[in-house]
Chains A and B, each alone.
Chain A
Amino acid sequence: MGLTRTSLAAETGGTGGARESEYLIALMGNPNVGKSTVFNALTGMHQHTGNWSGKTVGAAFGNFSYGEQTYCIADLPGTYSLHTHSAEEEIARDFLTESAPHLTVVVCDATCLERNLNLVLQILEVTPRVLVCVNLMDEAKKRRIRIDLSLLEKRLGVPVVGISARRRQDILHLTQRIAEAVDSPSGEVYRVLYPESVNEKNHGEADEIATALVHAAEEIAADVVYAQTVSKSREERIDRIVTGRVMAYPVMLALLLIIFWITIVGANVPSSWLSAFFTSFEAPMYGALTAIGAPVFLAEMIVYGMYRVLVWVVSVMLPPMAIFFPMFTLLEDVGYLPRIAYNLDRCFHKCSTCGKQALTMCMGFGCNAAGVVGCRIIDSPRERLIAILTNSFVPCNGRFPLLIAMTSMFFVSGSSALGSLTGAFFLSLIIVFSVGVTLAVSALLSKTVLRGLPSSFTLELPPYRRPVILSVLVRSVLDRTLFVLGRAAAVAAPAGILIWILANVKIGSGTIFAQLTGILDPIGRIMGMDGVILLAFILGFPANETVIPIMMMGYLSAGTLTEYGSLTELHALLIANGWTPMTAVCVILFSLMHWPCSTTMLTIHKESGSLKWTALAFLLPTAIGAGVCILLNGFACLAQRF
């Protein structure tokens, strides 16, 4: 779950899967059992995305080898049962039946083995080629839970391995056992005894089937699990605070504030270093281009157009992302995100939507496209659609630099610790506002085009876990930061060229850029902004990161992006072009509420499968953003008059 290279690549489509000579292994398990940790540990960095049977899925593929043999392993979405509820579970079940993997590794949580066995038993009914991997043995030991693995192996009739995924030697052992299991023939496996009234094909007897499964799991667990009941677990004490009546919301806000504060403070210095570093290449690059005989316009287009926009995107985006993403991943790994959904569920319930929308909303802070893909965790199609349509109301990482720049320039004085704390405070306020808008629009949709009652809601609050710091860093930096940065850069380079052409090619009396801003200016003015800003938002459709550089280029008569010196210079430039704090407020609001970026739009189309909903996803935030800006600006003008 979350923004990973793989979850995003799932919607952009990829090729892969198992080659003929490889063994295909499926990795399954309940949600929150550390399945992804096992997957990452097994495959290291050798992961790729793939599809099978011509159908692109949200499954990640990876390779590992043991001896001479290479194994392709598919990380399937977490699932409680094979009886379909959500899109994610459907993926897992279809993979088992359609791709017929050579071996299915079912990851179980040693601290609640009984419920996990329920899924194991269901999978054993589909295929006997199963290996049960009991993870979190260290956690279980801490809670004085002992599991007789060899007895479990005997009862189930399939190999059982107990591991702690964070221990290297355990993973090696698992690899070895997988290799053995793939080669050995399958034996007699455990069969659930259903009452005679149950005919296997008869779904009318669902209750009896479910009861028989639960009882079978209960019986096996009673034999193999020795547990001393702990009266009050550590979780319950922590939860009493972070989900308690008094402290829950203050803790959430404080965490938000701290994350933003660290991001702002930590990103400032590296940002200016990176900028200075990359800018120093400009002159030599220009010199080299002209030396090899490139025409002046080409050299200028490449250096002042493409390269400068690229430098801006890298130096402004990389440091905050490299700080924000690891902290966010940390919260995810510790197990705090489900608590956010738990705390906010009442609000989403009131809006007739699913509390898990809080989770997809959190994913949207990283990247809205990933948030939209994440909406698969929501069972009800109606609630899933609402979550998809409202995801872009929370600012993604591409919009944070603009929000940070606007708040620091117009609402924070000085760059002291107090100044950055104020900046973090304003940013938190913006986030709270965007969550409010998400709720309001969700309620609006539930009352109008997507009318309906809230569906049922079950959310697991997993135990708090000590995160594997190294894995957090590797995953957040490699998977998230570099991926998002790479995408932004890929878009920024051609955008830089396009903007340079628009700003330098003259038609009639002025450049194309000037002509366009002239046309847009009246509309921009009504919204409390101007033509340049509006054009920057429009040209920023492929990547929101480029909005500020385009704006700067528009204001500078030179027609190229100015060197990014400091925010003070940018502030002076904006003031000289008639900006007021009111303009900044309108820009912030419009940045929060306008069309989603092109990647998100494509993802929405893919996930909703309908042009109608995609169009609504475009129009809804745009109309609301424009409306709010027009109203606010109107009131401001009236207030000035009286």
Chain B
Amino acid sequence: MLSTDNFSTPTVPMCTLKTGECATVRAIIAPGSIRRRLQDIGLIPGTEIRCVGRSPLGDPAAYRIRGAVIALRAEDCRGILVEA
């Protein structure tokens, strides 16, 4: 799943996105349970996402994923590599 060498621009973990930034998911290297959850909400390689805000204490952050706004903890989306 994880092969970053064929991407034109380098990927970054999703949790580093700032409010308002858009990105495309390139790879998910998260383990089992969170991986299934992310797939359920439609987060797979190729999905476009946008960081729409952060909670008052900085974590979790809210992302617009396929029309819905989903809150994810930084810890959980560290394993989601996105390309800005």
Chain A residues near B (Cβ < 8 Å)? 80-81, 83, 85, 111-115, 118, 206-207, 210-211, 214-215, 217-218, 235-236, 239-240, 243-246, 248-249, 342-343, 345-347, 349, 355, 379, 454-463
Contact = CB atoms under 8 A, between A and B. Distances in A.
Chain B interface category by residue count: 35 or more
Contacts of B68: 112, 115, 460, 462
Given A115-B66, A239-B53, A456 B33 contact: yes
A634 B69 CA distance: 51
A240 B55 CA distance: 9
B22 to A, nearest CB: 11
Contacts of B55: 243, 248, 342-343, 345-346
Contact of B57 (A118, A236, A347): A347
Nearest to A459: B71
A212 to B, nearest CB: 10
Contact of B70 (A118, A347, A461, A463): A461
B1 A80 contact: no
B37 A456 contact: yes
Interface string B69-82: 11111011000000
Contacts of B39: 206-207, 210-211, 214
Contact of B37 (A85, A461, A463): A85
Interface in B1-55: 1, 30, 33-42, 44-45, 47, 52-55
Contacts of B72: 457-458
A346 B41 contact: no
A457 B73 contact: yes
Nearest to B45: A211
B59 A349 contact: yes
5 contacts: A211-B39, A345-B73, A455-B33, A458-B76, A461-B69
A83 B71 contact: no
A235 B69 contact: yes
A235 B60 CA distance: 17
Given A112-B68, A211-B44, A454-B75, A236 B1 contact: no
A210 B36 contact: yes
Contacts of B73: 345, 349, 355, 454, 456-457
Where chain B touches its partner, the secondary structure class is mixed
Nearest to B68: A112
B57 to A, nearest CB: 4
Contacts of B44: 210-211, 214-215
Q: Please indicate which of the listed interface residues A455, A456, A460 has the most CB atoms of chain B within 10 Å of its own CB.
A: A456
Nearest to B38: A458
A115 B56 contact: no
Contacts of A215: 44
A594 B12 CA distance: 49
Contacts of B33: 85, 379, 455-456
Contacts of B67: 111-115
A156 to B, nearest CB: 18
Contact of A243 (B37, B56, B76): B56
B42 A457 contact: no
A463 B33 CA distance: 26
Given A114-B42, A345-B60, A458 B36 contact: no
A502 B79 CA distance: 64
A206 B36 contact: yes
Given A243-B62, A458-B72, 5 more contacts: A80-B37, A80-B40, A210-B44, A457-B76, A460-B70
A114 B38 contact: no
Nearest 3 A/B pairs, CB to CB: A112-B67, A456-B34, A210-B39
A338 B80 CA distance: 24
Contacts of B71: 342, 345, 355, 457-461
B36 to A, nearest CB: 6
A349 B72 CA distance: 12
Contacts of A249: 56
A361 B17 CA distance: 31
A240 B54 CA distance: 9
Nearest to B71: A459
